[in-house]
Amino acid sequence: MNEEKDTYTLEDLAPGSTALADISPPARLSVFGDPVAHSLSPQLHNPALKALSIDSRYIRVQVAERDFPKALALIQEKGFLGTNCTIPLKFAALGACDHVDDLALKLGVVNTISLEDGKIFGSNSDGPGFLRAVREAFAIDAHDLRIMILGAGGGAGRAVTVQCALEAPERLVLVNRTREKAESLRAEIAPMLEDEAIHSASSRVKVAEWSDAGLEAELGNIDLIVNATSLGMKRSDPALIQPHLLQPHHLVYDMVYSPQRTKLIADAQNNGARTANGLSMLLHQGAISFETWFNREAPLETMRNALQAALGAGDGPLI
């Protein structure tokens, strides 16, 4: 019987390769990425598959962007049920699908692929996973919050921003180091927030300057602050928000989860604000992908416990 690898390659999927032969349970799900070696997705999904007695294994596959169509064809030939797609493959996945659901089209990226009857179906669990995480952490829905998103122009920030816009919050403030990216995104989502009976879109969504003065002018009228950047992963990273600008009424969601207590979270807690990190988003993203593939409720607590155990042994990026 072959010994399971931490990470597989395109060659391992090729016809004639025995790399996946005799693995028990058989590999039927995966995550594609470049890099992918530190993804926690297998630690999240394999305990869930085992808990529900599903005879499938979830593996990591290193896939360069240029090789994405080939990798997708190879797992189809091997009878896979689907795959997750992480950086930098989410845009390639969007173009490779036969069918893409409405939400993934609006978000502009696919991170969950389902393979059924020779067809490729694309969806996205980023935005819905974020909404579930916020609801779980703070017992309130995004619709009822005034939201500021730091890093609104990036990949993760874009998905969260569009998802928040679809929830029609009272106020949505976009902040990005490259202001032009935030302005472009504001123009894209403004029609989603048009409601003349309440407010015009121009008053509900705006772009703020990423400076102490720019943030201070907005934060008094913000409930939820979201860090959608990677800043906070290193001790040397600059402060996202000066500590004195964080207030007790703020809810702070930092999508970084390694370390689990970033400087932003520490500063917010010291000022009496409620906080949560990106671990819950990773959990709920995975659960939504699982539910997409199997059309049944994911064993959330099993997945949560497995993820916490995995983080005790090592860290990895968001899928």
What residues act catalytically? 90
Q: How far apart are the C-alpha atoms of 22 and 3, rounded to whole Å? A: 9
Q: How far apart are the C-alpha atoms of 105 and 94, rounded to whole Å? A: 8
Q: How far apart are the C-alpha atoms of 42 and 290, rounded to whole Å? A: 12
Cα 89 versus chain centre, distance: 13
Q: What is the dihedral of CA 148, 149, 151, 152, to 10 degrees?
A: -110
Look up tokens 């020779």; give the residue: 118
Q: What is the DSSP string of 208-235?
A: E-SSHHHHHHHHTT-SEEEE-SSTTSST
Q: How far apart are the C-alpha atoms of 221 and 313, rounded to whole Å? A: 40
| Closest-CA residue to 95 (of 67, 122, 71) | 122
